[in-house]
Amino acid sequence: MLTPPPRDEKGAVEPHDHPEIGNGDGVIRRVQEQWIVEDKDGNRRLSSMALKASSGDNQGMSVDLEALIVAAGLDPHAYVTNPRWIGSIRFSAGDLRAEEFKVGFDPLDEEPPNQPANPYHGEVWGSFSRGKQRKLAALATWYVALPGVSLAIG
């Protein structure tokens, strides 16, 4: 397990680049069906929504930290996949950092009814401009592939 992340006075995790997340470590972004769109030619591709920060106080892109899942003795492919999250993409932490993103640890507590605890959760913080989203799409590889879906965003 990693050392606890820095928190603000309200207890929220602050954007940070966690020193114990190595550049070679896998960073997994889950993909839901709503983030798959059809282009004008009828081809299915990943929407830019999959490569954006979430709304909220610290606005990071929610991810899972592969090394933590593996260290816990779990199959990371199975862990990140469920009826809501049907696929996933993977980055290396180093590739994200090379694009000026911070990669941090952000374990989630259970918040019933919709959010189970996730001690392997992380965040990616930075500027998610259109250009950066395209760069992220180029850096991404399928982790749990969605057949017939391209990683190229529009």
- Mean pLDDT score across all residues of the chain: 94
Range 5-19 burial, b when 16+ CB lie within 10 A, else e: beeeeeeebebbebe
Question: Does residue 8 register a pLDDT over 70?
Answer: yes
Structure tokens at 101: 């993103």
pLDDT for the residue numbered 56: 65
DSSP state of 101: -
What are the pLDDT digits (tens) for 79-104? 999 999 999 999 999 999 999 999 99
Torsion on CA atoms 131, 38, 143, 69, rounded to nearest 10: 90
What are the pLDDT digits (tens) for 36-73? 999 888 899 999 999 999 866 678 999 999 999 999 99
For residues 1-13, give the mean pLDDT. 92
The span from the CA of 24 to the CA of 38, in Å, is 33
The domains of the chain are located at 26-150
What are the pLDDT digits (tens) for 105-132? 999 988 877 778 999 999 999 999 999 9
> Cβ(61)–Cβ(124) under 8 Å?
yes
Give this prediction's pTM: 0.94
pLDDT for the residue numbered 153: 85
